[in-house]
Structure 1
Amino acid sequence: MPITFRRSIRILPGIRLNLNRRSWSITVGPANGPKRTYNSTGRRTTSMDLPGPFGWRHTSSRRRDS
């Protein structure tokens, strides 16, 4: 089993800094409602918890020009 590192730090109400071994991200949004996540690798995710065992998530990646 590999060793993993994941840490979530609350900066302000509704704003979290998420850290893991390879990248970091910032999540903005209330505890109960839509959230927007911006990742250091360019990935952006919008998500929302729905009642019951349901949830909604949309992920897009920023295109990097070389």
Structure 2
Amino acid sequence: MCNNIRPDAAAAALTTLMHALIDIECTAELAQGEEQKDRTQFALECIRYIATRTLKEAKNNLV
């Protein structure tokens, strides 16, 4: 494995992670509502998917 030497690689990885955090925050907010209890499991699955996808994308930007 070698590191990506593009100067914008770190910025691209950080941007990707920031977007994922925003997605996760919005999904968690939706799951938090009392009337949304039936959707909590689905929201958690979405959060897991977003986190996994984003970490892979950020890694690809840096490698």
Name the TM-score class by shorter chain.
under 0.3
Question: Whose radius of gyration is greater, 1 or 2?
Answer: 2
Instruction: Give the TM-score normalised by the residue count of structure 2.
Output: 0.21
Q: Which has the higher contact order (CA 8 A, sep 6+)?
A: 2
